[in-house]
Amino acid sequence: MSSTVFKGGIHPEYHKELTATMAISVMKPPQKVVIPLNQHIGAPCEPLDSIAVDSEVKKGQKIAESGSFVSAPIHASVSGKVTAIGPYNHPLGRPVEAITIESDGQDQWDEKIKPPGNPEKLTPEDIRKVVREAGIVGLGGATFPAHVKLSPPGDKKIDVVVINGAECEPYLTADHRVMLEKPEKIVFGLKMMMKALNAEKGIIGVEDNKPDAIKVMEQAAAEDDNITVAPLHTKYPQGAEKMLIQVTTGRIVPSGGLPLEVGVVNHNVGTAVAVTDAVREGRPLIERVLTATGSGMTRPSNLLVRVGTLVSEVIELCGGLKENTHKLVIGGPMMGIAQPNPDIPVIKGTSGILALTEEDIYLAESSPCIRCAKCVDSCPVYLMPTSIAQAAEHGLFKRAEKLHAMDCFECGCCAYVCPSKIPLTQLIRIAKAEITKANKR
């Protein structure tokens, strides 16, 4: 196994002590859930013909799907009655279609949910079908449908499955707790994914600022000769797909390429648990573990929350926001998305709810570039952030494309280190959106 350290990156203050020792608490099912039809990368879902306002639904019942391969069905996260189908605020910005369900307080499972059979006897195709039907997507935040990653083209041999336990984003500790509390399910889910891909090897990558998780995962994988735990030198953005694959396997995913081109598929620890629940019990993905934290959160916590729960209710459970809260973010501080208000639902990709006070945010006007090249040094994918940002500022999007702007995965390292406080990531994000738009024409 390689101990390679990837190029660039940063060492931000991690603030994980706020929640790292807090066990996952189960949040009571809410009275109302708002379940967006777009919670994943790929085609949004449509409500099933049987679902309309006033329909009675059970917990775990499929309520929406898409005919597209790159998509994942959506399930009711409580039992009750559909009270609305229409646009609702979404963590990604603009409102999207959503199904609102008022709970009947019974929390009754759909009787159709049953174990798909002896997991040991499931074929690779069976596993892919179970994972798809369960609506499992990447729970690290990327929300790529998991069954798609388990279905590589026939000419691509996958020999390694890498499980992401890096959790390199500051503040977040949900994955850390999942590793401490559900290690056996992570290893079992990994084995199912290896079987689906006919992969010989599994690697669980964990940053060395979580020594307890490394120990627990090593114990859980001790019986499996083909699964190893890779302790990783702590550095942001270690959990990004390309970086994690490099440090765990020594393989470099090419510019514009996918991990499967180097024989690797990568999944998050939470995704592995979801695969286990689906394969053993037939359970769809209707809840997830998230970290509600930050200096503005009255009682920081790790919580198991139903998909569709309003963020405002999670915050209320955590004692509310402190008066000096300045910013609310969904996700971590580096790659998360700032929110104007908490009237948005928790979705499958919600790994964190972060409340920051003014003390945590360095508010400064940007000033001209002093050409120090710190942004270039920090970029883990060898880009020239300053040049791309300048091209974006001047509307030169073709030039930004030639500078490989599309390789930017918006980790925020360049903006973090820039002494002139230039919003480099924001400018590059604009360039990427314009390039995508132009290429669709």
Strand 160-165, strand 201-207: pairing: parallel
Q: Which stretch binds ligand SF4 (CB under 6 A): 64-72, 228-236, 337-345, 379-387?
A: 379-387
**What distance lies between CA 256 and its chain's CA centroid?**
20
For the CB of residue 281, give the shortest distance to ligand SF4 in the complex, in Å: 39
Task: Determine which residue in the list 35, 166, 245, 408 makes contact with ligand SF4, applying CB under 6 A.
Answer: 408
Residues 197-256 that bind ligand SF4 (CB under 6 A): none
Confirm or reject binding of residue 381 to ligand SF4 (CB under 6 A): yes
Q: Which amino acid is at 376?
A: V
Confirm or reject binding of residue 387 to ligand SF4 (CB under 6 A): no
Nearer to ligand SF4, 88 or 416 (CB): 416
C-alpha–C-alpha distance, residues 171 and 332, integer Å:
7
CA-to-CA separations, 278 to 44, 237, 284, in angstroms, rounded: 22, 30, 6
Confirm or reject binding of residue 370 to ligand SF4 (CB under 6 A): yes
Nearer to ligand SF4, 135 or 140 (CB): 140
Confirm or reject binding of residue 369 to ligand SF4 (CB under 6 A): yes
Burial class of 93 by CB neighbour count within 10 A (0 to 12, 13 to 18, 19+):
exposed
Confirm or reject binding of residue 419 to ligand SF4 (CB under 6 A): yes
Task: Determine which residue in the list 412, 427, 431, 434 makes contact with ligand SF4, applying CB under 6 A.
Answer: 412
Tell me the helix, strand and coil percentages in the chain, rounded to 5.
Answer: 30, 25, 45
For the CB of residue 117, give the shortest distance to ligand SF4 in the complex, in Å: 43
C-alpha–C-alpha distance, residues 225 and 248, integer Å:
17
Residues 278-297 that bind ligand SF4 (CB under 6 A): none
Nearer to ligand SF4, 371 or 441 (CB): 371
Confirm or reject binding of residue 379 to ligand SF4 (CB under 6 A): yes
Query: How big is the site for ligand SF4, counted in residues (CB under 6 A)?
Result: 28
Confirm or reject binding of residue 406 to ligand SF4 (CB under 6 A): no
- Whether 314 contacts 353, CB under 8 Å: yes
Confirm or reject binding of residue 411 to ligand SF4 (CB under 6 A): yes
Q: Which residues, 6 or more positions from 15, have their beta carbon under 8 angstroms from its beta carbon?
A: 170, 171, 293, 294
Q: Which stretch binds ligand SF4 (CB under 6 A): 141-149, 216-224, 264-272, 378-386?
A: 378-386
Quickly list H helices, 251-324.
269-281, 311-317
The DSSP code for 116 is -
Confirm or reject binding of residue 431 to ligand SF4 (CB under 6 A): no
Confirm or reject binding of residue 385 to ligand SF4 (CB under 6 A): yes
Confirm or reject binding of residue 262 to ligand SF4 (CB under 6 A): no
Nearer to ligand SF4, 163 or 400 (CB): 400
Nearer to ligand SF4, 88 or 236 (CB): 236
Q: Which stretch binds ligand SF4 (CB under 6 A): 207-215, 227-235, 250-258, 364-372?
A: 364-372
47 CB neighbour count, 10 Å cutoff: 18
C-alpha–C-alpha distance, residues 251 and 201, integer Å:
14
For the CB of residue 367, give the shortest distance to ligand SF4 in the complex, in Å: 8
DSSP string, 173-230: -HHHHHHHH-HHHHHHHHHHHHHHHT-SEEEEEEETT-HHHHHHHHHHTTT-TTEEEE
C-alpha–C-alpha distance, residues 374 and 427, integer Å:
17
C-alpha–C-alpha distance, residues 285 and 74, integer Å:
8
Nearer to ligand SF4, 315 or 400 (CB): 400
Task: Determine which residue in the list 4, 298, 420, 426 makes contact with ligand SF4, applying CB under 6 A.
Answer: 420
Binding residues for ligand SF4, rule: CB under 6 A, are: 369-375, 378-379, 381, 383, 385-386, 408-414, 417-420, 422, 424-425, 428
